[in-house]
Amino acid sequence: RAAEQLTAGLNGVRTLTADNPHQQRRLLTLEYLAAQRLSCSKEQIELRRERGLEAASQAVMTGRGKNLMDQIRVLIGDMMEMENGLLARRSLEEADSSRRAASAMVWGILLVCVASGLIWLQLVHSIARPLRETAAIAERMGTGDLSVEVNVDGRRDEVGAMLQAFARMATFQREMANVAGQISSGDLR
């Protein structure tokens, strides 16, 4: 039963350490030592069956089985130490990677905020300011100031269309004011 469990355990370790050639070499040594230990146990069991308790006790007293187990324990300890070291290193690398990802996200968010602010300023500059100027022109025209000059600046968007309409309206209002002035001076042509 122990041999079956040992084989299953060693196969599991082989799978778990497949990416580590150093551990794979240690595993081969562990398999050899385990086979030697199982062989030693079988010999002692056979001695007990064939020659009795005294012969088996003498075989145990040689310390061969204990020496093999001590070597196995040291080797397993070394393997576990290496795996724990790898785990610690990978955990640190993962934590570092997480910190870098978080930092990249923070910088990305800041960059998006700055870019959004710049876009907002551009919108204010290209849309809101001309709309305020157009509203001021409309206000002046509404109070009778027809000397207003509307500067379209070659805009082809909605603000440009509105400025062109105001320019036409201002020109029309000036023409109508001239006509009204001519009529008031008696010129009915």
Q: How many CB atoms lie within 10 A of CB 23?
A: 20
The reported pLDDT for the residue numbered 131 is 81
Q: How many CB atoms lie within 10 A of CB 130?
A: 19
pLDDT digits (tens, 9 = 90+) for 2-61: 888 888 999 999 999 999 999 999 999 999 999 999 999 999 999 999 999 998 898 899
Backbone angles phi, psi at 52, to 5 degrees: 100, 180
Token pair of 75, please?
């080797």
Percent of the chain whose predicted confidence (pLDDT) is above 90: 53
| pTM of the model as a whole | 0.55
Backbone angles phi, psi at 16, to 5 degrees: -70, -25
Residue 97 pLDDT grade (very low, low, confident, very high; cuts 50, 70, 90): very high
pLDDT digits (tens, 9 = 90+) for 166-178: 888 888 888 888 8
Q: How many CB atoms lie within 10 A of CB 156?
A: 9
For residues 101-116, one letter each, b for 16 or more C-beta atoms within 10 angstroms of the residue's C-beta and e for the rest, the string is: eeeeeeeeeeeeeeee
Sequence letter at residue 96: D
Q: CB burial class (10 A; 0-12, 13-18, 19+) of residue 137?
A: buried
Contact 31, 68 (CB under 8 A): no
* For residues 122-144, average pLDDT: 83
The reported pLDDT for the residue numbered 158 is 83
Local structure of 10: helix, strand or coil: helix
Q: What is the mean pLDDT of the chain?
A: 89
The reported pLDDT for the residue numbered 134 is 81
